[in-house]
C-alpha cells in the first residue's frame, strides 16, 4: 500500500544550528503535503504545507522543500531553539483521500 516514511527516527542538533528533517513518500499521486510538530502530551500542530505545483515554501524560520522526482520532502528549521524539540511528522494526501502520516522524527535540541 501507499506509505509515508522518514529516513531518521531521531535527530540531535546544537542550539542555533539549522535542522533538516527528511521524509520519503511513495504515492506518486500525492499532491498535498503537511509538516506537523507534536510535543509531548499534545496533538499535532500544523507547521507548514506545500502543494505539488511548488518545490519550495518558506514560513517563519521553516522551509519545506519538495522533490517530486524522487518523492522526497524535507523540513528545514533555521536557528533551532530548545522549544523546537518535538516529534515532527510529514503527512500527505491526494484529492479527497485522508491524510497519511509518517512515523515521525524526534528532534532534540542540545543547549
Partner 1 sequence: DAGVTQSPTHLIKTRGQHVTLRCSPISGHKSVSWYQQVLGQGPQFIFQYYEKEERGRGNFPDRFSARQFPNYSSELNVNALLLGDSALYLCASSFDPPRVEAFFGQGTRLTVV
Q: By rule CB under 8 A, what string of x and - marks binding of each residue 55-94 to partner 1?
A: ----------------------------------x-x-x-
C-alpha span between 75 and 57 (Å, rounded): 10
C-alpha span between 51 and 74 (Å, rounded): 13
Q: Is 102 in the site for partner 1 (CB under 8 A)?
A: yes
Tell the smallest beta-carbon distance from residue 73 to partner 1 (Å).
Answer: 14
Q: Are 89 and 4 in contact (CB under 8 A)?
A: no
Cell 497519511 sits on residue: 100
Tell the smallest beta-carbon distance from residue 44 to partner 1 (Å).
Answer: 5
Q: Is 46 in the site for partner 1 (CB under 8 A)?
A: yes
Amino acid at each position: 500500500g501507499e506509505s509515508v516514511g522518514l529516513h531518521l527516527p531521531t535527530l540531535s542538533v546544537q542550539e542555533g544550528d539549522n535542522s533538516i528533517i527528511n521524509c520519503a513518500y511513495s504515492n506518486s499521486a500525492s499532491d498535498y503535503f503537511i509538516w506537523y510538530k507534536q510535543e509531548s502530551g499534545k496533538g499535532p500542530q500544523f507547521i507548514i504545507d506545500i502543494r505539488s505545483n511548488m518545490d519550495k515554501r518558506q514560513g517563519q524560520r521553516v522551509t519545506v522543500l519538495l522533490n517530486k522526482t524522487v518523492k522526497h520532502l524535507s523540513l528545514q528549521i533555521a536557528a533551532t531553539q530548545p522549544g523546537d524539540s518535538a516529534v515532527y511528522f510529514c503527512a500527505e494526501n491526494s484529492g479527497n483521500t485522508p491524510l497519511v502520516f509518517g512515523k515521525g522524527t524526534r528532534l532534540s535540541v542540545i543547549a
